[in-house]
């Protein structure tokens, strides 16, 4: 597969070529077609917008090349640096994203659910995301009220909440699934 060409515009990467955009989207539901809120498959004629986590993953997998606005190739290291400037806990978010993607899951933004990621087994439009993932540092204190809020929200949208705790010292991620039940 040839690499798609993306452009770093602020804190997003945009694939302008519609054919390359469709191909990237169809390989794993990467990005969002601009101007299309819920695409029905990869049959769209629009540029593809990728967040920095997705873009870095695709660069490391050899599916994407990123260029700056002056046409200079942006390396994976440079893209990660931009990510660290733009996104709090970028390295932990990327680590969890990569682990989930490499395990075969489709990982999308969980912003509309108040979480870091919504995780699908097959993909949007095919199934509903059964999991919401919140990424935290292993030694980070979790506010009990925030945990209840996240748990109630995930329960109300029929999803299981997963806390992905990343140990910055060892690099190990511990996944803890919470499920709300009636007593």
Active site residues: 120, 128, 159
How far apart CA 14 and CA 25 sit, in angstroms, is 12
Does pLDDT of 15 surpass 90?
A: yes
Residue with tokens 């002056």: 70
pLDDT digits (tens, 9 = 90+) for 100-114: 999 999 999 999 888
Burial (CB < 10 A; 0-12, 13-18, 19+), residue 104, is: exposed
pLDDT digits (tens, 9 = 90+) for 72-106: 999 999 999 999 999 999 999 999 999 999 999 99
* Domains along the sequence of the chain with CATH: 1-87 (3.40.1170.20), 89-183 (3.40.1350.10)
Buried b (16+ CB within 10 A) or exposed e, 106-118: bbbebeebebbbb
Classify 172 as helix, strand or coil: coil
């Amino acid at each position: 597969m040839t690499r798609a060409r993306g452009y770093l515009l602020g804190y997003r990467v945009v694939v302008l070529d519609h054919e390359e955009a469709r191909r990237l989207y169809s390989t794993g539901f990467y990005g969002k077609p601009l101007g299309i809120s819920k695409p029905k498959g990869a049959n769209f004629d629009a540029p593809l917008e990728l967040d920095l986590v997705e873009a870095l993953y695709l660069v490391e997998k050899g599916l994407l090349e990123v260029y700056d606005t002056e046409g200079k190739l942006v390396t994976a290291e440079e893209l990660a640096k931009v990510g660290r400037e733009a996104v709090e806990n970028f390295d932990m978010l990327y680590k969890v994203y990569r682990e989930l993607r490499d395990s075969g899951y489709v990982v999308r933004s969980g912003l509309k659910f108040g979480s870091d990621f919504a995780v699908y087994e097959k993909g949007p439009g095919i199934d509903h995301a059964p999991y919401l993932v919140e990424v935290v540092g292993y030694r980070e204190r979790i506010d009990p009220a925030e945990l209840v809020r996240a748990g109630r929200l995930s329960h109300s949208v029929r999803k299981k909440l997963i806390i992905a705790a990343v140990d910055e010292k060892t690099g190990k991620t511990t996944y803890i699934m919470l499920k709300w039940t009636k007593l």
